[in-house]
Amino acid sequence: MFKQKIIGLIENASKLHEDEVNRVIEVPPSLNMGDYSFPCFVLADPKKDDEMWANVEKDFFKRKNPFEIASHLKDIIEKKLPKEIERVEVKGGYLNFFVDKNKLAESIINIGNNYGKVKVSNERVMMEFSQPNTHKAFHVGHIRGTSLGESISRILENVGNKVIRANYSGDTGMHIAKWIWCYLNFHKKEKLSDDESWIAGIYVDAVKRLSDDEGYQDQVNEINRKIESKSDKEINSLWKKSKDLSVKSWNKIYEELGTRFDRHYFESELEEGGKRIAKELEKKGIAEISDEALIVNLEKHGLGIWVLLRSDGTVLYSAKDLALAREKIDNQKLDRFVIITGDEQNAYFNQLLKTLDLMDMPKRDKYHHIGFGMIRLPHGKMSSRTGDNILYSEFKEELREVAEKSIRGKWPKLSNKEVEKRSLKIAISSIKYAFLKQDTNKLIVFDKDQAMRFEGNTGPYLQYSYARANSILEKSKSKKKVMISELSDLEIGLMNKIGRFPEVVVKGAETYSPSIVANYAYELSKVFNEFYHSSKVIGSKEEAFRLKLVDAFRKTLKNALYLLGIEVMEEM
RNA sequence: GGGCUUGUAGUUCAAUGGAUAGAAUAAAGAGGUUCGGUCUCUUCGAUUCCGGUUCGAAUCCGGACAAGCUCACCA
């Protein structure tokens, strides 16, 4: 909470650049070592010669041991200690700062609803994520991508950026032809529906029938040609209609997941541009013909061969993605671009980025790709009707039923409608939380029973903590004046945690890491529950102050969960 | 075989190059019945291996081993 002040003190005493101090300063492993700590080892070896060190009296620090340096800094800082800092201590090579608990308490109980909002950046960022294909399943991987995209978007917004959410969908190609072929031949009597599982089911059926009888492939190819040339009226309109239904089915999903997109790109819109850019690259000598296909040879860079155009001249995903990159970059209003996909596309995106390098694409250094790990399920723990990939709807429903069971057990008097509503919210937030609390690039082994627990590091635990805090606040009608008397360790621990929130948010934004925020939310709730367990709020002498503290916790947790895309429930 | 990523308690995850590697869960034991006990406490238990850099390495570098992804006309 008073981090900036402390950084200023160190900067002043050591003459190190603010950014360098900010980089080095840390939170000690335990509270009795203070609230912030500055390790002085760096100063003992001032060999760096950049601007961070420009004003440092290097000769003075040189070869002094860190303890001496820390003592020296302490002497300077102690002379003008601001009232927010209670004291400074030297321990080994560390300079430890203790903030004044009463000042901390004053700040904590006065935090507002916007607590945690900071302005450290001011860019217009386009986040591309989710990217389902029409006529295909929206599966668990898409849920992870969507949750990540939404959460990172919110975190970036929270530190001052404007975020434009973009989606990108494949709406052409062989998979569409398969779908249309299968529908026309085997499902024509069924009504076209915007039900995600029905749409995905047709595709799965198509794949199955095609593998049963290879002779069918010719029919599919025929349809694919008709789609591309737009020559067949019936197929054209079916393509359009079914595509719209896919989009409609996603919109239902996005509403449940709490995401809305500002811009939706489709592959079919980028064919022309893709072709054009491929030709350009050929002219410039960046791309070349090989085996009749147009490729970019990236073997020099250890990235293999990247094919832009098929040997028959048709456009591949790669060329379209280049066209998309150019379209985004040409938009003068955008400063930064982030694309989130599954990590199976990492190699592909490295090829794309390298090609942008070779093209000298402007704003290239602002074009980023983030790959996330797959979701794996413990063997035999979840069922799937459609093979390997579990559909969104199946996944959600299975978890919702688990939530419903535990809700009915806990609150038997709720109406069916209410149970349904709450169980859906709990299921969605459990999924999101389980997906976001882990490092983005790591594979997740999703155990639904573990994710749905009301204890441990789970979504329901956090929501439960929130609801509890909420209920305390509602129950008390005390209007007593707030008096800060002697503070207990648990109160201090809770205040301390709450005070860290802004730092956590900034770090999350810098590293595109919802997991940092998620783990913070968990630690925060844990500290709160410890406090709550042993400190009576209502009826106690410190009631007014403790209510304020509970309220500060409530606001902080709410904002942290918001950044994860998780909606709090006032009661559970 | 090449490239990328990852190897931390039985299991699932944490730890800006910093101080005693934290949790959850499982297991064993003890207490507790509520401002919303699905609670609390105790015990048990880990950095894959071998080198290197550093005042300091789970973290950086090299190598071995293992897993995942990926390597020309799918997206």
What Å value separates CA A469 and C1' B18? 36
Mean pLDDT computed over every residue of chain A: 88
Q: Are A559 and A524 in contact, with CB atoms under 8 Å apart?
A: no
pLDDT at A127: 97
pLDDT of residue A381: 44
Print the SS3 string covering A316-353. Answer: CHHHHHHHHHHHHHHCCCCCEEEEEEEHHHHHHHHHHH
Query: What whole-number percentage of chain A has pLDDT above 90?
Result: 53
Alpha-carbon distance A97 to A95, whole Å? Answer: 7
pLDDT of amino acid A477: 67
pLDDT of residue A379: 59
SS3 A404: helix
Residue A406 CA distance to nucleotide B38 C1' (Å): 9
Q: Which of A378, A394, A376 is nearest to A386 (CA)?
A: A394
List Cβ neighbours of A22 (8 Å cut-off, separation of 6 or more): A7
DSSP-derived secondary structure for A210-228: HHH-GGGHHHHHHHHHHHH
Identify whether the C-beta of residue A112 lies closer than 8 Å to the C-beta of residue A551: no
Using C1' positions and the CA of A546, the closest nucleotide is: B35
Q: Name the CATH code of domain A3-99 (choices 3.40.190.10, 3.40.50.720, 3.30.1360.70, 3.30.200.20).
A: 3.30.1360.70
- Quick: pLDDT tens for A140-151: 999 999 999 999
- Give yes or no for a contact between A486 and A545, defined as CB atoms under 8 angstroms apart: no
Which nucleotide does the CA of A66 lie closest to, via C1'? B55
Closest nucleotide over all strands to A318 (CA to C1') = B75
What gap in Å lies between CA A484 and CA A104, rounded to an integer? 11
* Residues A443-497: tens digit of each pLDDT: 998 888 888 888 888 998 999 899 888 888 888 766 677 777 778 888 888 898 9
What pLDDT is recorded for position A68?
87
Spatial distance from the CA of A442 to the C1' of B6 (Å): 7
Q: Tens digit of pLDDT for each residue in A183-211?
A: 999 999 999 999 988 999 998 888 888 88
Q: Which two tokens stand for residue A213?
A: 């009888």
Q: What is the pLDDT of residue A490?
A: 84
What's residue A541's pLDDT? 77
Identify the pLDDT of residue A50: 61
Query: What is the pTM (predicted TM-score) of this model?
Result: 0.93
CA of A77 to C1' of B56 (A): 26
Q: What is the ipTM of this complex?
A: 0.92
Given a cut of 50, is residue A380 above it in pLDDT? Answer: no
| Digit-coded pLDDT (tens) for A74-104 | 999 998 889 899 999 998 889 999 999 888 9
